[in-house]
Amino acid sequence: MKKTVLYDAHVALDAQMVDFGGFLMPLIYTSITEEHNYVREKAGIFDVSHMGEFYVKGKEAGKFVDYIFTNDVSSMVDGQVLYGMMLYPTGGVVDDLLVYKVHNEFYIMVVNASNADKDFAWATEQQKFDCVLTNESDNISEVALQGPLAEEILQKLTDYDLSTLTFFTFSMMLINGKNVLVSRTGYTGEDGFEIYGYETEIKEIWKEILEAGGENVAPAGLGCRDTLRFEVALPLYGNELSKDITPLEAGLASISVRLEAGDFIGKDVLVKQKAEKTKRRIVGLKLIDKGILRHGYEIFKDGTKVGEITTGYRSPSTGETVAMAMIDRPFDKRGTELEVQIRNKMKKVVVRNKKFYTKSYKEN
Amino acid sequence: MSKIVEGLFYTNTHEWVKVEDGFAFIGITDYAQESLGEIVFIELPEEDDSLEKGEELGAIESVKAASDILSPITGTVVEINESLEDEPELLNTDAFTNWIVKVELSDESELEKLLNAEQYKEICE
């Protein structure tokens, strides 16, 4: 099992540690709800050093990334971040990822820890361009500072005017003398930053952020990372995305796919699927009866299976028992009453939108 | 270190049984509530339901996961702790005073096969 550079810090904080993507990661420090609320109301700091980072360098770096990425890389400017996916020729998802454009001949891909090896092998197979693809995952560590007070806290540690760093852009900057990459991105639905650097740098920055933030920042584990991303309907690979689910079915086409731009692997399947309309899609569900909805529970209409829950929780922010679920059409329409099987009992659910909580990004 | 109460019977699946006035009260241990984390929902049986030793009695849901409560004994439910339906978090506050069901025992000799406090303590270590 791999450990991040912050492993000792988590143990010192008495965190409950779990295996995630081959890494021993903090699940909970105090409680999921407490950490969740910290991120919604103040700020939380996450160790996300397990994430995978690939460098693509060379003359045709942009062409290569565009070829394996659903979003439009050719339109990117230096210092921009773009969300999108790598697809199999079937249209199923290899992984969802962020692409950072440093300049025309240097891009960084940030992928899920649990998929990093698979992604690198897949990307390497497709690499027939004049560029070099390297896996930098073992060299780069990362922390995410998320929440409405994130900017105020990080500003104490840098002369860079963070108010000029807009949503989904990044810059190299000095954080307490350490030259690191900072992007205004995240996975919580709140304003915030993701900070990439070498092990020793990230280890110091973690400590410095906690000191600078004082009462306004708390360490946040993977437990609340999942409830936070869930409430704003951000997908998790393995739940809302998989090799058997296309971005259209996941309902993520508008933010991750540009069919009108250049070709990419899997595009023809998406074009066809868009024309014919998908047979199923991810929607929100609300539980009418009592209980909790969980990943994998089956959904029925008049005794026939019509779908499955992808992620479910009692939303820590709203207290509602809700879920995201992959549902066959036409049962995906809002207000449709369906049934969910929970431990051999059928309970009533109703289809709703999947925005369980309103995002508060700093869009400009 | 989680709390263990002397004089109760225990299971290796972290339930406890307390016998009082000929009835058995069943709950989950402090160790169980601690490892479950914040409890947000409990599914209880109904009065007059019969329970089989080792079979599912109900379920407890924490923020992150669901887990079954297994009945340590065979018997019939005579009362459920309804306050847990509205406030399942009481189990986090004190797992030993907040019993889950009150049961009429079918076979008192089953109790002898359960663990005592000392044996249970070893499991939690």
DSSP state of A319: -
Contacts of A109 by beta carbon, 8 Å cutoff, 6+ apart: A53, A54, A56, A65, A97, A98, A99, A100, A119, A123
Contact B61 A291 (CB under 8 A): yes
Which string of DSSP letters, residue by residue, matches A173-194? EEETTEEEEEES--SSSB-EEE
Q: pLDDT tens-digit profile of A7-48? A: 999 999 999 999 999 999 999 999 999 999 999 999 999 999
**Rounded-to-integer distance, Cα A190 and Cα A36, Å:** 11
Q: pLDDT tens-digit profile of A84-110? A: 999 999 999 999 999 999 999 999 999
Burial of A334 (C-beta count, 10 Å sphere; 0-12/13-18/19+): exposed
Beta strand spans in A214-279 (E)? 217-219
Q: pLDDT tens-digit profile of A339-356? A: 999 998 999 999 999 999
With a cut of 60, say whether residue A364 has pLDDT above it.
no
Cα A166 to chain centroid distance, Å, stands at 18
Q: pLDDT tens-digit profile of A104-122? A: 999 999 999 999 999 999 9
Q: pLDDT tens-digit profile of A160-181? A: 999 999 999 999 999 999 999 9
Nearest to B38 among A31, A290, A343 (CB): A31
Q: Which two tokens stand for residue A80?
A: 């921009």
Q: What are phi and psi of A169, to 5 degrees?
A: -130, 165
Sign of the alpha-carbon torsion through A44, A163, A169, A105: negative
Identify the contact set of chain A against chain B, taking CB-CB distances under 8 A.
27-28, 31-33, 223, 226-227, 290-292, 294, 313-314, 316, 343
Contact A292 B66 (CB under 8 A): yes
Q: Domains of chain A (ranges plus CATH)?
A: 2-49+140-231 (3.30.1360.120), 50-137+246-278 (3.30.70.1400), 279-352 (2.40.30.110)
Sort out which chain B residues have CB atoms less than 8 A from A223's CB and list them. 37, 63-64
Binned at pLDDT 50, 70 and 90, residue A361 comes out as: confident
Contact B56 A32 (CB under 8 A): no
Q: Where are the domains of chain B?
A: 9-124
- Helix, strand, or coil here: A99? strand
CATH number of B9-124: 2.40.50.100
Sort out which chain A residues have CB atoms less than 8 A from B93's CB and list them. none
